[in-house]
Structure 1
Amino acid sequence: MAESWVNSAEAVGADLLLDLRPGLSGPGGRRAALIGALREAVRGGRLAPGTRLPPYRSLAADLGVARNTVADAYAELVAEGWLTARQGSGTRVAERAKPLGDRTRVPRKAPARTRGPRHDLRQGTPDASSFPRAAWLASYRRALRTAPNEAFGPGDPAGRTELREALTEYLARTRGVRTEPGRIVICSGFAHALRLLFPAVLRGPLAVESYGLPFHRSLLSAAGVRTVPLPVDEDGARVDGLGAERAVLLTPAHQFPTGGPLHPGRRAAVVDWARSRAGVVLEDDYDGEFRYDRRPVGALQGLDPERVVHIGSVSKSLSPALRLGWMVLPERHVDGVLAAKGEREAWAGVLDQLALADFVVSGSYDRHVRRMRQRYRARRDRLVAALAAHAPRVEVTGVAAGLHAVLRLPPGSERSVLKAAEWQGLALDGLAGFRHPEAAGPAPDGLVVGYATPAEHAYGAALEALCAALPESA
Structure 2
Amino acid sequence: MAVSQTNLAWATLLDLAPAEPRRRRLHDRLAHALRSAIREGRLVEGAVVPPSRVLAEELGCSRWAVTEAYGQLVAEGYLSARVGSATRVSWSPETAASGPAARVVPAHPPVRYDLAPGLPDLRAFPRRRWADAVRAVAGSAVHYDLGLPDPAGHAVLRTTVAEYLRRSRGADAQAATVSVCAGVTDGLVRTCRALRAEGITDLAVEDPGWGRLRAAATSAGLRVHPVAVDQDGLRVEDLAQGPARAVVVGAAHQFPTGAVLSPPRRSRLVRWAREVGGFVIEDDYDAEFRYDHHPVAVMQGMDRNRVFLLGSVSKTLSPALGLGWLVAPPAMAAALRAANPVAVAPPVLDQLALATFIERGWYDAHLRAARRRFRTRRDLLVRTLGAEVPEGRVAGTAAGLHVLLHLPDGTDTAAAVAAAAATGLRLATLADYRSGQSAEPALVLGYGNIADPEIPPAVTLLREALRRGQSGP
Q: Same fold (TM over 0.5)?
A: yes
Is 1:230 the counterpart of 2:227 in the alignment? yes
Task: Give 1:403 shift.
Answer: 0.6
- Cα displacement string for residues 311-330 of structure 1 (whole angstroms, at most 9, x for unaligned residues): 01111111111111111011
Greater Rg by CA: 1
Other-structure match for 1:14: 10
Contact between 2:49 and 2:88, CA under 8 Å: does it hold in 1?
no
Other-structure match for 2:32: 40
Other-structure match for 2:392: 394
Q: Give the aligned residue type for 2:331.
A: R
- Which residue of 190, 195, 208 corresponds with 2:189? 195
Contact between 1:123 and 1:403, CA under 8 Å: does it hold in 2?
yes
Structure 2: 5+ residue stretches without partners: 2-7
Is 1:451 the counterpart of 2:427 in the alignment? no
Other-structure match for 1:179: 173
Structure-1 separation of matches of 2:396 and 2:110: 28
Q: Give the aligned residue type for 1:38.
A: L
Q: Give the aligned residue type for 1:304.
A: D
Structure-2 separation of matches of 1:424 and 1:111: 19
Structure-2 separation of matches of 1:430 and 1:468: 16
- Which residue of 403, 406, 428 corresponds with 2:404? 406
Task: Give 1:229 shift.
Answer: 2.6
Other-structure match for 2:290: 291
Q: Give the aligned residue type for 1:462.
A: A
Is 1:462 the counterpart of 2:458 in the alignment? yes
- Cα displacement string for residues 346-372 of structure 1 (whole angstroms, at most 9, x for unaligned residues): x62222222211111111111111111
Contact between 1:211 and 1:257, CA under 8 Å: does it hold in 2?
yes
As a proportion of its length, which structure holds more helix? 2
Q: Give the aligned residue type for 2:373.
A: R
Q: Which moved more, 1:202-211 or 1:125-134?
A: 202-211
Structure-2 separation of matches of 1:464 and 1:16: 52
Contact between 2:281 and 2:308, CA under 8 Å: does it hold in 1?
yes
Structure-2 separation of matches of 1:93 and 1:425: 38
Other-structure match for 1:124: 118
Task: Give 1:49 shift.
Answer: 6.6
Give the direction of change, closer, same or farther, for the CA distance of 1:457–1:148 in structure 2 (3 Å limit). farther
Give the direction of change, closer, same or farther, for the CA distance of 1:230–1:106 in structure 2 (3 Å limit). closer
Is 1:374 the counterpart of 2:372 in the alignment? yes
Other-structure match for 1:272: 271
Other-structure match for 1:354: 352
Count the aligned residue pairs: 443
Other-structure match for 1:148: 142
3-state secondary structure, aligned to 1:289:
coil
3-state secondary structure, aligned to 2:179:
strand
Structure-2 separation of matches of 1:192 and 1:284: 12
- Cα displacement string for residues 400-446 of structure 1 (whole angstroms, at most 9, x for unaligned residues): 111111112222224365455456543222222222329xxx95332
Contact between 1:257 and 1:434, CA under 8 Å: does it hold in 2?
yes
Task: Give 1:22 shift.
Answer: 5.7
Contact between 2:133 and 2:354, CA under 8 Å: does it hold in 1?
yes
Q: Give the aligned residue type for 2:156.
A: E
Q: Which moved more, 1:76-85 or 1:127-136?
A: 76-85
- Cα displacement string for residues 193-226 of structure 1 (whole angstroms, at most 9, x for unaligned residues): 2222234433331122222112322333344422
Structure-2 separation of matches of 1:470 and 1:451: 19
Structure-2 separation of matches of 1:434 and 1:364: 34
Give the direction of change, closer, same or farther, for the CA distance of 1:17–1:428 in structure 2 (3 Å limit). closer
Contact between 2:14 and 2:34, CA under 8 Å: does it hold in 1?
no
3-state secondary structure, aligned to 1:242:
helix
Give the direction of change, closer, same or farther, for the CA distance of 1:329–1:59 in structure 2 (3 Å limit). farther
- Cα displacement string for residues 237-262 of structure 1 (whole angstroms, at most 9, x for unaligned residues): 12122224211111000111111311
Contact between 1:49 and 1:93, CA under 8 Å: does it hold in 2?
no
Task: Give 1:469 shift.
Answer: 4.2
How high is the sequence identity, in percent, across the aligned residues? Answer: 39
Contact between 2:257 and 2:396, CA under 8 Å: does it hold in 1?
yes
Other-structure match for 2:5: none
Q: Give the aligned residue type for 1:135.
A: R
Alignment of 1:48-447 (within 5 A): 50-53=48-51, 69-70=61-62, 73-74=65-66, 94=87, 97-98=90-91, 115-202=109-196, 203-243=200-240, 244-343=243-342, 345=344, 348-415=346-413, 417-418=416-417, 421-422=420-421, 425-437=424-436, 443-447=439-443
Structure-1 separation of matches of 2:351 and 2:157: 6
Structure-1 separation of matches of 2:393 and 2:331: 45
Contact between 2:48 and 2:86, CA under 8 Å: does it hold in 1?
yes
Task: Give 1:447 shift.
Answer: 1.6
Q: Which moved more, 1:290-299 or 1:214-223?
A: 214-223
Structure 1: 5+ residue stretches without partners: 6-11
Task: Give 1:465 shift.
Answer: 1.9
Give the direction of change, closer, same or farther, for the CA distance of 1:241–1:344 in structure 2 (3 Å limit). closer
Give the direction of change, closer, same or farther, for the CA distance of 1:383–1:340 in structure 2 (3 Å limit). same
Structure-2 separation of matches of 1:189 and 1:325: 4
- Cα displacement string for residues 85-133 of structure 1 (whole angstroms, at most 9, x for unaligned residues): 9xxx9xx97457459xx9x9658x9976553443221111112222111
Contact between 2:30 and 2:66, CA under 8 Å: does it hold in 1?
no
Q: Give the aligned residue type for 1:434.
A: Y
Contact between 1:188 and 1:323, CA under 8 Å: does it hold in 2?
yes
TM-score (norm 1): 0.81
Task: Give 1:175 shift.
Answer: 0.6
